[in-house]
Amino acid sequence: MIYIKTAEEIEKMRAACDLVSRTLGEVARWVAPGITTRKLDTIAREFILDNGGKPACLGYHGFPGTLCIEVNETVVHGFPSGYELREGDVIGTDCVVELDGFNGDSCYTFPVGDVDEKVARLLKTTKESLYVGIEAAKAGKRIGDISNAIQTYCERAGYSVVREMCGHGIGASMHEDPEVPNFGRRGIGPVLKSGMCIAIEPMINMGSKNVVIEDNGWECRTRDRKPSAHYEHTIVIRPEGPEILTTFSYIEAALGERPLREEQTTD
Ligand code: MF3
Ligand code: CO
C-alpha cells in the first residue's frame, strides 16, 4: 500500500529530512584518518538527540547503530566498531532520523584523505547516478524508469548494480511501499504520483554485483571485496517534478571548510 502524503505530512517529512541532512553534515566534519567508526556513530546519535530527533536505525530489528557504516567493500548495514579509518578508505554513513512521527533517510560516501583515482571515480559516478534517478522520478512515470536510469548510467561507466538491496517508500515508517530497485526495465512497476515520498539509494560496485551477508545477518559486503559506493536522498513527487527533501549541502559546506592539508598550502 503506497501512502500519498498530505501537505502537512510533507512539511513533517521536510523537517525530518533537514535533521538527517544536518546530522551527516556534522559527521562530515569528523571523517578523517584515525577516527573510529564508533566515534562517528556517537557523534551522530548525540546530534540527533540534541535536536529532538530519534535515531531510527538504532534498535531497528536489533541494529546496533545510529549510522550504518560502510567501509570500502561493505555495501550496507555495517556496524559501528573500533575500526580506525585510514587514509585511502572510503566510508558510507547511512542514517535515518525520526522527527515528529516522520522519517528522513540519507547516505553519503566520503573519501578518507586521498583515495585512489579509480575509487574517486566510483564515488563520483554513484553520486551522479542518484541525481539521474531523481530526474526520472516524475509524476506519471513509473518506478522502473528510476531503476533503469540508475542502472544504465552506472553500467555504462563500467560498474555493477547490487540486486539484493533497494530504495523504498518512506514516511511514518522508515520502509514503506513501493520498493525502488536500482536496476530494471523502463515502464514497469507502480506509477509515480504527486505526494509519494521515496528514498532513492544506488549501491554500486566497482567489481561484480555479488554480495555476501555476514553471519550476524546484517553486514553486507562485496563478494570480491572490491569497493562499493552508496548515496541516498529522500524525495517527494510533486506535480512540477521531484523535490529533494534531504540535502548534501551541509556535508559539502563541512568538507569545504576543512583546513587545507599541508601538501596543498603554498607557504
Ligand atoms: N537507508 C537504510 C535502508 O533503507 C537504513 C537502514 S537502517 C537499519 O535500508 F536499521 F536497517 F540498518
Ligand atoms: Co534507505
What is the per-residue pLDDT across 206-216, written as a single tens digit (0 to 9) for each? 999 999 999 99
CB contact at 8 A, 198 and 137: yes
Ligand 1 pocket test, pick from 37, 94, 98, 233 with the greatest ligand atom count within 8 Å of Cβ, gives 94
Q: Are 154 and 132 in contact (CB under 8 A)?
A: no
Query: In this predicted structure, what is the pLDDT of residue 266?
Result: 45
Cell of 183: 536496476
Give the model's pLDDT for residue 159: 99
Which residue from 23, 76, 200, 234 has its CB within 8 A of the most atoms of ligand 1, so it is best to mutate?
76
Pocket lining: 252 vs ligand 1, CB cutoff 6 Å: no
pLDDT score, position 233: 98
Strands 102-111 and 211-213 come out as: unpaired
- What is the topology classification, in CATH, of domain 7-255? Creatine Amidinohydrolase (3.90.230)
Regarding the beta carbon of 57 and ligand 1, being less than 6 Å apart is answered: yes
Phi-psi region of 198 (alpha: psi -120 to 50; beta: other; left: phi over 0): beta
Distance, in Å, from the CA atom of 114 to the CA atom of 126, rounded to the nearest integer, reads 18
* Ligand closest to the CA atom of residue 76: 1
Burial label for 263, CB within 10 Å (0-12, 13-18, 19+), is exposed
The answer to whether the CB of 154 is under 6 A from ligand 1 is no
Instruction: Evaluate: CB of 40 within 6 angstroms of ligand 1.
Output: no
In terms of phi and psi (left: phi > 0; alpha: psi -120 to 50; beta: otherwise), the region of 262 is alpha
C-alpha cell at 40: 562517528
Burial (0-12, 13-18, 19+ Cβ within 10 Å), 182: buried
Nearest CA to ligand 1 atom 6: 57
Q: Are 234 and 246 in contact (CB under 8 A)?
A: yes
Neighbours of ion ligand 2 (CB under 5 A): 105, 199, 201
pLDDT at 20: 99
pLDDT at 257: 79
Phi, psi dihedrals of residue 160, rounded to the nearest 5°: -120, 155
Give 61: exposed, middle or buried? Use CB within 10 Å, 0-12, 13-18, 19+.
exposed
217 lines ligand 1 (CB under 6 A): no
Spans of the chain below 50 pLDDT: 262-267
Question: Does ligand 1 have an atom closer than 6 angstroms to the CB of 24?
Answer: no
What pLDDT score was predicted for residue 15?
A: 99
| The model's pTM | 0.96
Q: Does the beta carbon of 68 lie inside 6 Å of ligand 1?
A: yes
CA–CA separation, 114 and 110 (whole Å)? 11
Q: H or E segment at 164?
A: none
Mapped onto helix, strand or coil, the DSSP state of residue 187 is coil
Q: What is the pLDDT of residue 178?
A: 98
Predicted local distance difference test score (pLDDT) of residue 255: 96
* DSSP helix/strand/coil, 159: coil
Q: What percent of the chain has pLDDT over 70?
A: 97
Which of 43, 50, 89 minimizes the C-alpha distance to 65?
Answer: 43
Q: What is the pLDDT of residue 224?
A: 98
Given this model, what pLDDT does residue 260 score?
53
- CB of 59 closer than 6 A to ligand 1? no
Distance CA 79, CA 241 (A): 36
User: Which ligand 1 atom is at minimum distance from the Cα of 68?
Assistant: 12
